[in-house]
Structure 1
Amino acid sequence: MTKPSPLNAQLVPKPSEVEALVTEICDSSSIAEFELKLGGFRLYVATNLADNNSSPPQPQPIPAAVAASATTEGVDSNGSASSTSLAITKPTSSAADQGLVILQSPKVGFFRRSKTLKGKRTPSSCKEKDQVKEGQVLCYIEQLGGQFPIESDVTGEVVKILREDGEPVGYNDALISILPSFPGIKKLQ
């Protein structure tokens, strides 16, 4: 293992230095575009000077029934950081009010409705309105080339598949909603 030379260590900026620089550039009304290259580090910032001269935007009220979560996009392929976006989603707790069980992703990866064997897709493990049993594989999470089966926690009917095939999912993202059945209870006649 090679020890970094003092010269190379000086070329990599500290996070606090980068934050101070970006804040200064964004607060300035005279810098429209800025690019910094230090060794393997590259920072590109572009601002719209017309927006800086106008009055600051008034925040829009968000209804209480809708939860808002800010998500930061990753770094673009050209190395520049994209802006922060505001994702507005309905809370999944309303599903509990309807008696639905939400199957959540235990991993980060890509949602797959079926397994891939030798380069070919197998039929989907489940469809909407299918009856499923506890422990039955409903979908897969693809992660680093591996496919991890996601099993049902309950016996019941698949109400809705909440993700498209190949869509990226995060930890605890909702995948499938299931209406549980209670096999020990007989229907009234």
Structure 2
Amino acid sequence: MDIKQVQELIRFVSKSGVNEVSIEEKDFKITIKTNQAPTVVNATIPAPAPAPVAVAPQAAPVAPAQAAPAPAAATPAVAADSSNYITIKSPMIGTFYRSSSPDKPSFVNVGDEVKAGQVVCIIEAMKLFNEIESEVSGRIVKVLVENSSPVEYDQPLFLVEPA
């Protein structure tokens, strides 16, 4: 396994929310662990990774009870504003940042027009800064997360009025 493959594996672990990945070959062994709580991680990705599947059945009954209230609490706010808004959600667990550094302006603010593919925020996961792009074109109606706050997988970040 070369350094590029190791970097790709680290990117996969940070984006997918997997708690631990171990790979063993003839003369090579690597284990990548995150500091994330396993109950949240197992709820987000039980099937794709063979190793965590054994852990998932133990944590699965607990995880939906903890993970379900956050999206459920956000859903009434979305419904109250308008049903025609599109939600940009977090693709991973990490820390949400509205700008690339504290002294730089925010990527987007309420009222800004965004295009599909435009960077709207950064999520830091395992010391990697991942640019999150808008999947739709439209106008930012509401920012749902405070700057420097932890976010969960699939947590709503922005409301966008489609163009």
Q: Could you tell me the TM-score, scaled by structure 2's length?
A: 0.53
Contact 1:95 1:101 in 2 (8 A): no
1:105 aligns with 2:90: yes
Q: Which of the residues 114, 127, 139 maps onto 2:99?
A: 114
Shift in alpha-carbon separation, 1:123–1:91, aligned structure 2, 3 A:
same
Partner of residue 173, structure 1: 155
Contact 1:95 1:102 in 2 (8 A): no
Could you report, residue by residue, the CA deviation over 1:32-60 in whole angstroms, capped at 9, with x for unpaired residues? xxxxxxxxxxxxxxxxxxxxxxxxxxxxx
Per-residue deviation at 1:91?
Answer: 2.3
Larger radius of gyration: 1
Q: Which amino acid aligns with 1:160?
A: K
Q: Within 2, Cα distance between the matches of 1:156 and 1:123?
A: 20
The structure 1 segments of at least 4 consecutive aligned residues displaced by more than 4 Å after TM superposition are: none
Return 5+ residue gaps in structure 2 as ranges.
1-63
Return 5+ residue gaps in structure 1 as ranges.
1-68, 73-85, 182-189
Q: SS of the residue aligned with 1:94? A: helix
Q: How many matched pairs?
A: 97
Partner of residue 73, structure 2: 89
Q: Which amino acid aligns with 2:75?
A: P
Partner of residue 157, structure 1: 139
Using CA pairs below 8 Å that are at least 6 residues apart, which structure has the higher relative contact order?
Answer: 2
Q: Within 2, Cα distance between the matches of 1:121 and 1:177?
A: 25
Q: Which amino acid aligns with 1:171?
A: Y
Q: Within 2, Cα distance between the matches of 1:100 and 1:173?
A: 15
Could you report, residue by residue, the CA deviation over 1:133-188 in whole angstroms, capped at 9, with x for unpaired residues? 1110000101122210110111100000000001111110000010000xxxxxxx
Per-residue deviation at 1:70?
Answer: 3.5
Per-residue deviation at 1:95?
Answer: 7.1
Contact 1:110 1:141 in 2 (8 A): yes
Shift in alpha-carbon separation, 1:150–1:90, aligned structure 2, 3 A:
closer
Q: Within 2, Cα distance between the matches of 1:132 and 1:153?
A: 9
Could you report, residue by residue, the CA deviation over 1:67-117 in whole angstroms, capped at 9, with x for unpaired residues? xx7428xxxxxxxxxxxxx7671526727962111001111001100113x
Whichever structure has more helix as a proportion of its residues is 2
Contact 2:119 2:133 in 1 (8 A): yes
1:128 aligns with 2:110: yes
Q: Which amino acid aligns with 1:103?
A: I
Contact 1:161 1:175 in 2 (8 A): yes
